[in-house]
Amino acid sequence: MAKGRVIIENERFNLTVERLCHQLIERYDDFKNTCLIGIQPRGVLLSDRIINRLKQILPDQVICYGKLDITFYRDDFRIRDRPLTANANQMDFIVEDKEVVLIDDVLYTGRTIQSALTALQHYGRPANVELLTLIDRRFNRHLPIQSDYVGLTVDALDEAYVKVEWMEQDQRDRILLFPEKQR
Q: What is the length of the chain?
A: 183
Residues of the chain above pLDDT 70, percent: 92
Confidence of residue 3 (pLDDT cuts 50, 70, 90): confident
* Whole-number pLDDT of residue 15: 97
* Whole-number pLDDT of residue 8: 95
* Whole-number pLDDT of residue 89: 85
CA 81 remoteness from chain centre: 25
| C-alpha span between 29 and 11 (Å, rounded) | 26
Confidence of residue 156 (pLDDT cuts 50, 70, 90): confident
What's the mean pLDDT in 13-22?
A: 97
* Whole-number pLDDT of residue 150: 98
Q: What average pLDDT does the structure give for the chain?
A: 91
Nearest to 112 by CA among 83, 147, 81, 82: 147
How many beta carbons lie within 10 A of that of residue 70, not counting itself?
A: 25
In the chain, the amino acid numbered 65 is Y
Sorted by where each begins, the domain ranges of the chain are: 5-178
User: Domain 5-178's class?
Assistant: alpha beta
What's the mean pLDDT in 32-47?
A: 96
What's the mean pLDDT in 91-103?
A: 97
Burial pattern 103-129, b for ≥16 Cβ within 10 A else e, equals: bbbbbbebbbbbbbbebbeebeebeeb
* Whole-number pLDDT of residue 80: 56
Higher pLDDT, residue 80 or 64? 64
Confidence of residue 175 (pLDDT cuts 50, 70, 90): very high
| C-alpha span between 20 and 32 (Å, rounded) | 18
| C-alpha span between 137 and 154 (Å, rounded) | 5
| 3 state SS for the chain | CCCCEEEEEHHHHHHHHHHHHHHHHHHHCCCCCEEEEEECCHHHHHHHHHHHHHHHHCCCCCCEEEEECCHHHCCCCCCCCCCCCCCCCECCCCCCCCEEEEEEEEECCCHHHHHHHHHHHHHCCCCEEEEEEEEEECCCCCCCCCCCEEEEEECCCCCCEEEEECHHHHCCCEEEEECCCCC
